[in-house]
Amino acid sequence: MLSPVSRYIGELAQFGALKGTDIANITDVSKATVSRWKAGEMRPQPRNALILSDLYYIVGRLNEYYEPEEVRAWLYARHPQLEGHRAIDLIHDDRSLEVLAVIDRLDNDVYL
């Protein structure tokens, strides 16, 4: 049985086209650490568990609108609605609510 973290990492690849390197960059750990998380050999520290949880939720929301490669591109792009920031940087900095506010605008067909 997969741990929740293993499942999250697998689904981030499936629905967000995110690779281990992407997850390592977002969480500030090595790619080997992400591989250990995926294999269930170790668990992320609480801060990284929160980052993974937020990333998983955001990718799930974006998957309602975009194909996986587009989700990945959306996360890495600089957005005017995020004051020129990239979503991945905001997720890393515990500012996921700002990213979710932009996604909420997609839900409401508001594209400022």
Task: Domain of residue 35: give its range.
Answer: 4-107
Exposure string (b/e) for 45-79, b if CB count within 10 Å is 16 or more? eeebbebbebbbbbbebbbeebebeebbebbeeeb
Least Cα distance to 32 among 81, 46, 41 occurs for: 41
Phi, psi of 78 (to 5 degrees): -80, 135
* Residue 44 lies inside a defined structural domain of this protein: yes
Helices marked H in the chain: 4-16, 20-27, 31-39, 46-62, 68-76, 87-92, 96-107
32 belongs to a structural domain: yes
In a domain, 51, yes or no: yes
Q: How many domains does the chain have?
A: 1
Q: Is 25 inside a domain boundary?
A: yes
Task: Answer whether residue 112 is part of any domain.
Answer: no
pLDDT score of 111: 57
pLDDT for 107: 81
In a domain, 15, yes or no: yes
Helix (H, G, I), strand (E, B) or coil at 78: strand
Residue 38: count of CB within 10 angstroms of its CB: 20
Say if residues 37 and 81 touch (Cβ distance below 8 Å).
Answer: no
Rounded CA separation 76/94 (Å):
16
User: What is the pLDDT, as a whole number, of residue 110?
Assistant: 63
Percent of the chain clearing pLDDT 70 (strictly above) = 96
pLDDT: which is higher, 112 or 101: 101
pLDDT tens-place string over residues 31-82: 999 999 999 999 999 999 999 999 999 999 999 999 999 999 999 999 999 9
